[in-house]
Every structure is written in C-alpha cells, then in structure tokens.
Amino acid sequence: MPRLVLASQSPARLATLKSAGVTPEVVVSGVDEDKVLADATDRFGELDPADAVLVLAQAKAEEVAARLEESWADAEAPADDSPAGAGSPETEAPADVIVVGCDSMLEIDGTIVGKPADAAAARERWRAMRGGKGVLHTGHWVVDLRDDAAGGTGGTLGSTSSTTVWFADIDDDEIDAYVATDEPLHVAGAFTIDGLGGPYVERIEGDHHGVVGISLPLLRELLGDLNIPWRALREA
C-alpha cells in the first residue's frame, strides 16, 4: 500500500481523506506563500486564480518532498550509537511515499480573496458576497517518491479543481453571529461548506470536495496518471 503524505495542516482535508478510507501522514509545508506567488508572477506575469493555487500546491508538495528526502538521507548516514527513529516518514526512508499538496482560494468577480485578516474583514467579506456567487479554486500537486521496486515513476504533476458557489442572502445579524464563531477567520473565502458555514451555501456547481479543500475525484485521476489505483490507498 503506498503511503500518502499530506503537505497540509488543514483538518478539513485530513477529514475528507479519512472519510474516503485513506489516512495520510501529515507533514506541514514551510513555504512562504507570498514569496512563491511573487516569484511566479515575476517569471510568468500576472497569474489567474486557478494558476495561483496550482503554483502554491506545487511549492508545498515539492518542499515537503525535498525535506523528506533530505531527512531520509540524514537518517541513513553513519551517526552515533543512537538508532534512527521509526514509524515517521521524517525518520525513515520508505520505498512507497506519495506527497500531495493543496491550496485553495476564492475568486469573486475576478479578484482573489483568501483568509480574512480579522473579524472586521470577515464581516465585510460576507456583506459583499451574500446573495452572490464565487468560484472556489483548489490546486493539487502530487510528487511520486516511490522507488523503482515499488513502481515509482519520479513523476510530479498537478491540476486545479474549480467549483462555483452560490451564497445565501443572509442579514447582518446572521453574519455577525457566524463571524463570532471564529470559523471564517481560518478558511479561504471566509466560509466552509462542511462546517458552520454550510447553511449559508445555497448550491454549488462542481465538485463538493474541491470546496472542502481536496477534490477526491481529481486526486484519483492524478494518482491514476502515476499508475496508482485509488483502491491501493484505501484501508478497507
């Protein structure tokens, strides 16, 4: 069974994978997102939202993959009599690791909106988008670290899931009460579809899982391109 490493600290992404029978190991990336986007803009010009999330997903997955490979090399190097740790992808050199990185952004009228800076920004965001719609873009990037014996391809590839979301026309009191839960401050676009914000999403067009933060159908397709069937990851 391949070992999936999730390069994200998102509880929603982890829960989504677990609900589908896949329990990844979590190794959070340390990339500077603003710098990654600035560097990409310098190289390629202004990025549209679908490309921006893909660039960030790639940076996260490849940073974690490089860090894992470095830690495995260090663990294999001669050291003192202390044995290397076991059971963690950061202290072993397993033959079957796949890394997936994700990033999400909400686009409204062509403008990218991320996590609100504070409660006031969250309230302003909701007052602007209530009764309207946006597109939630989630970039996915996969890095194949498996060795040849485990079927490794050395591949690194990705794609973006884009889902249109229609928001309910809620009043100011409802917005204030939702913002007071603190949930909108921790998620792209200041809303969830799988949490307290669910009642305020009237409908979507596209993949529900992409709005949560990781598109299971898209991930299945990307893994298929690396010759990994989804059933190989599922625990039951």
Rounded-to-integer distance, Cα 49 and Cα 160, Å: 10
Mark 183-221 as b/e (b = at least 16 C-beta within 10 Å).
bbeebbbbbbbbeebeebbeebeebebbbbbbbbebbee
Q: What 3-state DSSP class applies to 112?
A: strand
Rounded-to-integer distance, Cα 236 and Cα 229, Å: 14
Rounded-to-integer distance, Cα 97 and Cα 206, Å: 30
Question: Of residues 96, 103, 144, 207, which has the active-site annotation?
Answer: 103
Catalytic residue list contains 96: no
Task: Give residue 39's identity as a one-letter amino acid code.
Answer: D
- Cβ contact 193:208 at 8 Å: yes
Task: Return the beta strands (E) in the chain as ranges.
Answer: 3-6, 25-26, 97-108, 111-113, 133-144, 156-167, 201-205
Q: How far is CA 193 from CA 41, 58, 170, 201, in A?
A: 30, 25, 15, 7
Rounded-to-integer distance, Cα 217 and Cα 209, Å: 8
- Cβ contact 85:91 at 8 Å: yes
- Cβ contact 185:122 at 8 Å: yes
Which residues are marked as active site?
Answer: 103
